[in-house]
Amino acid sequence: MLLRRIAFRKKCRTLGFLIIAMITFVYVTIVSKSLERIKAPSKYFMVFTCNESTSNTHHQPEPSILPTSKIIKEIPRHISNVSEFAYPIMLWNNYLINNPDLCKMNNNILILIVVKTNPLNFERRSIIRDTWSNKAYFFGVIKVLFLMGNAQNETIQENISREFHEYLDILQGDFLDTYKNLTNKGVMGLRWITENCMQAKMIVKVDDDVVLDTYRLLEIVYPIYENKTRYILCNIFMGGKAPIVRDVKHKWYVKDSELKNIGLLDKKIYPPYCSGFTVILATDLIPAMFGIAHVTPFFWVDDVYLHGLLPMKAKRIDYVSLSRNYTFSYKQAMRCFSGKLPCNFLSIGETKLHEMRPLWNMIQTYHSRRIKKNTTRR
Ligand SMILES: *[C@@H]1O[C@H](CO)[C@@H](O)[C@H](O)[C@H]1NC(C)=O
Ligand SMILES: *[C@@H]1O[C@H](CO)[C@@H](O)[C@H](O)[C@H]1NC(C)=O
Ligand SMILES: *[C@@H]1O[C@H](CO)[C@@H](O)[C@H](O)[C@H]1NC(C)=O
Ligand SMILES: *[C@@H]1O[C@H](CO)[C@@H](O)[C@H](O)[C@H]1NC(C)=O
Ligand SMILES: *[C@@H]1O[C@H](CO)[C@@H](O)[C@H](O)[C@H]1NC(C)=O
Ligand SMILES: *[C@@H]1O[C@H](CO)[C@@H](O)[C@H](O)[C@H]1NC(C)=O
Ligand SMILES: *[C@@H]1O[C@H](CO)[C@@H](O)[C@H](O)[C@H]1NC(C)=O
Ligand SMILES: *[C@@H]1O[C@H](CO)[C@@H](O)[C@H](O)[C@H]1NC(C)=O
């Protein structure tokens, strides 16, 4: 069990102290609201009891720092000729809020999950911190970073500041947080990872309305890819399936000038790209994509830009389809996780606020069932 191997390794000896410390803490803060957040890591938590003999037989792979500067320098950068309007502004614009130490704060990091969010979505972020990204379950091997722009509203900004000081998991860029600036949000993420988080071994990008099965991610998906490079797991729209929308009334209508900027003016369809609600990437691709963004003019349809145009130029990428591992249907997800084993969903997209906790609870129940079944079988 990967969790046993990794999350609990080194923790074994101190687990006793941890438990005592936790009980004390719970007593001290019993009346305080903060108890809500670190609340009892459920029964699933108990399934992973510490096993000293298991933990001694494995060694955690050393976090390797890839030669990112090298990769970037290989790509021609015409910085001097970059027009502010032609290229994503977050290639150079300031961060407004940033914790550059997020990934360094714990040497155990394996997976960084970046969550595209809007400054106003306080509640989504709060639920995500409570559920699928909860530190209490993953002991620092999984870290979350929320990406947002500027809401240009003092009240909201003060609130974001408070949130940041409490959780240190927000990256805010100096750009207006709008639909047409999502590409800038994504480029900011590429830049930040290149600068601050190359020790993560896998990068996951999700929207803030996604419920992610982080147990599956860590125990089943991660081990397959832990030593691989240049892969992207996503839902791919192959060429011919994603028309370029030219209907002025449509949300995804693009202007001639915008298409011209990326050389697609005469095209009817987009080149292959991934839908961006859940994308898993090898860390080594991130600096390469960031470098390529310096020579890829801006295009506001972020999925096309970030998960199409950029990786297309990176070449030699292994694409793995996640088409059978997601759903946008709450009902279907609940049925799957409560039904017969196994359930292969990794990601549930487009959830409503009130659906997020029940989904996560069901995912936890699913995994305790799965583990119990596998344990009794042995
Ligand atoms: C601990 O691990 C050993 C070796 O893997 C195994 O034989 C034993 O059953 C495990 N104990 C528990 C309580 O899981
Ligand atoms: C800057 O880019 C434009 C458009 O791509 C090109 O026509 C022009 O020659 C470039 N200028 C320099 C100095 O490289
Ligand atoms: C800022 O946001 C608050 C809370 O949403 C709202 O009440 C207020 O009107 C906003 N102020 C401006 C200047 O938009
Ligand atoms: C400020 O943040 C809290 C949660 O941290 C949220 O409940 C509240 O709605 C936010 N206020 C504004 C004005 O956005
Ligand atoms: C994107 O952000 C920039 C910088 O804040 C802003 O000037 C621009 O209007 C935004 N674009 C859109 C389409 O909102
Ligand atoms: C990945 O590499 C580490 C260290 O060399 C090794 O222990 C582990 O078994 C490898 N994982 C896979 C899936 O090959
Ligand atoms: C996706 O689902 C298939 C079964 O339909 C499963 O074999 C595969 O492991 C799953 N992939 C991921 C990344 O969860
Ligand atoms: C049970 O464990 C085996 C071997 O460890 C693994 O291959 C299988 O996928 C597990 N079954 C489930 C439902 O997780």
Say if residues 328 and 349 touch (Cβ distance below 8 Å): yes
- CB burial of residue 339 (10 Å; 0-12, 13-18, 19+): exposed
For residue 160, the CA-to-ligand 4 centroid distance in Å is 8
Helix (H, G, I), strand (E, B) or coil at 157: helix
User: Tens place of pLDDT for every residue, the chain, 378 residues?
Assistant: 444 444 444 444 455 555 555 554 444 444 333 333 333 233 223 223 222 223 333 333 222 222 334 333 333 444 444 444 588 999 989 999 999 999 998 778 999 999 999 999 999 999 999 999 998 888 889 999 999 999 989 999 999 999 999 999 999 999 999 999 999 999 999 999 999 999 999 999 999 999 999 999 999 999 999 999 999 999 987 655 788 988 889 988 998 888 888 888 888 889 889 999 999 999 999 999 999 998 899 999 999 999 999 999 888 899 999 999 999 999 999 999 999 999 999 999 999 999 999 999 999 999 999 988 888 776
Report d(CA 234, CA 274) in Å as an integer: 6
Which residues sit with their C-beta closer than 6 Å to ligand 1?
A: 51, 53-54
pTM equals 0.78
Say if residues 95 and 314 touch (Cβ distance below 8 Å).
Answer: no
Pocket test for ligand 7, best of 206, 344, 347, 366 (most atoms within 8 A of CB): 344
Q: Hey, what CATH topology would domain 57-325 get? A: Spore Coat Polysaccharide Biosynthesis Protein SpsA; Chain A (3.90.550)
Domain boundaries, the chain: 57-325
- What ligand has the least distance to the C-alpha of 122? 4
Ligand 4 midpoint to CA 149 (Å): 17
151 Cα: distance to centroid of ligand 4 (angstroms): 13
Task: Tell me how far apart the alpha carbons of residues 42 and 130 are, in angstroms, rounded to a whole number.
Answer: 12
